[in-house]
Amino acid sequence: MQKQPKTKLQFPKRFLWGAATAAHQVEGDNHNQWSVWELENAKTKAAQSEYQLHDLDNWSDIKSAAKRPDNYVSGSLADHYNQYEQDFDLLTKMHMNAYRFSVEWSRIEPEQGVWDAAAIDHYKRYVAALKKRNIEPVMTLFHFTLPAWFSERGGFEKRSNVMYFTRFAEKIVSELGKDIRFIITINEPDIYARESYRAGNWPPNRTSNWQMFRVLNNLAYAHRQVAKRLHGMNRRYKVSIAKNSAYSYAGDTAWLSHASAAVLQYMQDDYFLRKVVKHCDFLGVNYYFSNRVYGYRVHNPDIKVSDLGWDMSPSNIEYALERLYEKYKLPIIVTENGVADQGDEYRQWWITQTLAGMQRALDSGVDIQGYLHWSLLDNFEWAHGKWPRFGLAAVDYETGNRTLRPSAIWFGRVIKHLRETK
Ligand code: BGC
């Protein structure tokens, strides 16, 4: 299934090599709709963990963490809010020249219409610390967390609430914009809409198809509004969304499998992208897995699975990128890609396969401009809490120590080599 990479790697001259995080997953001590929900749900989640996760191969390894309520409360995490300088040094150590992060709206506008000058100053220093290291910032405005006041007003369920998000976007970009070019308005709109409004897994735990589509449409509207405003402020801003894209393919020759894979792909990617593509300067793509379809069901090979039980098919990134480029003709930045792998058994293999897949896509003419690995640090994996470990750097939550995993040290050498051999 996986092709062995014999591919010679040669990436474009100004390629962005970096890593990504999101505010709520690393900063620590945020107060938003998620932190409220965590406190309300931690005990239940811990109690249900055995029932929900015991099928995972690694259940015995994660059991003690997954059964503890504090696993589900973000708390102080890696304290990246205060420790960002040492975290940016890790980027430098890995010879990276780009970093994706998100600004936390609930810090910047803790109450409706009230701007927190100290939080804005913090993000100014944060971006300056990246620029000082010659690292290109890629800034996300909405990565799943919202100020509590905004979600109490109905969040993105109401189209009339979009103006608050637009106002926040204008404010933060007018404050930080002189040092920023790349702006992601919304991270994975359909994951957010599905998990929060149909699957009922994330706050506000709704289970309605109708609400999911309403939120999705409002997010598309929000992107268009923000993109128009930002372009109006300065045409140099390169605006996009970060679109999750799993590659869907038929596992056999049956027409039903082919038809289902096509419908799945359309619903996942194109339903949303068609609504925003005219307002994107590039396409941010998050790739984690593929969907192999038999009949109308997804049934993945599962030859190798991550700690989260996700099928690992990293080289299929090639097909995801080729399809998106052929369809939308926008330059692509891979805004997330990575694997939950606490023991660091698979990460080097994963990255090797991914680079080879990207190279084949480049060779077939896809304009790829960057690769941002998820994640720089171990972080808070939403409803799963703290046990899944996506970090290039392992974080010890007791001591706060960060240690680059062996795969990260290797990846740093690869990046150095790729950036030097032009
Ligand atoms: C999200 C991240 C998340 C990662 C791994 C993406 O869906 O943008 O916030 O941690 O995937 O699940």
pLDDT tens digit string along 47-79?
999 999 999 999 999 999 999 999 999 999 999
Asked if 171 and 108 count as a contact pair (C-beta separation under 8 A), the reply is: yes
In short, whether 381's Cβ falls inside 6 Å of ligand 1 is yes
Q: Is 202 helix (H, G, I), strand (E, B) or coil?
A: coil
17 Cβ below 6 A of ligand 1: no
- Counting ligand 1 atoms within 8 A of each CB, the residue from 144, 336, 372 with the most, and so the one to mutate, is 336
Q: What number of other Cβ atoms are within 10 A of residue 64's Cβ?
A: 10
H or E element at residue 286: strand 283-286
Query: What does the DSSP 8-state code read for residue 278?
Result: G
Q: Find out whether the beta carbon of 336 lies less than 6 Å from any atom of ligand 1.
A: yes
Q: How far apart are CA 8 and CA 270, in angstroms?
A: 32
What residue type is assigned to position 178 of the chain? Answer: K
How far from 51 is each of 59, 205, 259, 329, CA to CA, in Å?
Answer: 11, 19, 34, 45
Ligand 1 mean position to 381 CA, how many Å? 7
Report whether residue 376 contacts ligand 1, using a CB cutoff of 6 Å: no
Q: How far is CA 179 from the centre of its chain?
A: 22
135 three-state secondary structure: coil
Tell which atom from ligand 1 comes closest to the C-alpha of 187: 8
Shortest-distance atom of ligand 1 to CA 308: 12
Q: What is the pLDDT of residues 85-120, one digit of tens each?
A: 999 999 999 999 999 999 999 999 999 999 999 999
Which of 299, 290, 294 minimizes the C-alpha distance to 269?
290
d(CA 50, CA 335): 33
Q: What's the start-to-end Cα distance of the chain, in Å?
A: 32
SS3 state of residue 58: coil
Task: Reduce the DSSP state of residue 299 to 3 states and report it.
Answer: coil
With contact defined as beta carbons under 8 Å apart, do 241 and 184 qualify? yes
pLDDT lower than 70: segments of the chain: 1-6, 422
Q: Which of 285, 374, 389 best tests ligand 1's pocket when mutated (most atoms within 8 Å of CB)? A: 374
Q: Which residue has 């927190």 as its token pair?
A: 116
Residue 303 Cα to ligand 1 middle (Å): 22
Q: Is 187 in the pocket of ligand 1 (CB under 6 A)?
A: yes
Tell me how long the chain is: 422
Q: Is the CB of 341 under 6 A from ligand 1?
A: no
Give residue 204's identity as a one-letter amino acid code.
P
Contact (Cβ atoms closer than 8 angstroms) between residue 337 and residue 371:
yes
What's phi and psi for 307, nearest 5 deg? -60, -25
For ligand 1, the distance from its centroid to the CA atom of residue 287, given in whole angstroms, is: 10
Residue 228 CA from chain centroid, whole number: 23
| Ligand 1 contacts CB of residue 286 (under 6 A) | yes
The Å distance, Cα 363 to ligand 1 centre, comes to 28
Which residue, among 187, 203, 234, has the nearest Cα to 32 in the 3D structure? 203
At a CB cut-off of 8 Å and minimum separation 6, what does 343 contact? none
C-alpha 157 to ligand 1 mean position (Å): 22
Q: For residue 25, how far is its CA from the centre of ligand 1 (angstroms)?
A: 9
Q: Does the beta carbon of 339 sit less than 6 angstroms from any atom of ligand 1?
A: no
If you take atom 5 of ligand 1, which residue's CA is the nearest one?
381
Distance CA 69, CA 89 (A): 33
| Cα atoms found within 13 Å of the Cα of residue 111, Cβ hemisphere only | 1
pLDDT score recorded for residue 305: 96
Dist. CA 183 → ligand 1 center (Å): 18
Q: Phi then psi for 266, rounded to 5 degrees?
A: -60, -50
Q: What pLDDT score was predicted for residue 421?
A: 82
Gap between the Cα atoms of 31 and 184, Å rounded:
22
Write down the pLDDT at residue 107: 99
Q: Is the CB of 104 under 6 A from ligand 1?
A: no
Q: Which helix (H) or strand (E) holds 138?
A: strand 136-142
Scanning the structure block, which residue is given the tokens 């220093």?
125
The verdict on the CB of residue 22 being under 6 Å from ligand 1 is: yes
Q: Which of 140, 174, 203 is nearest to 372 (CA)?
A: 140
**378 neighbors 390 (Cβ within 8 angstroms):** yes
DSSP letter (8 states) at residue 381: -
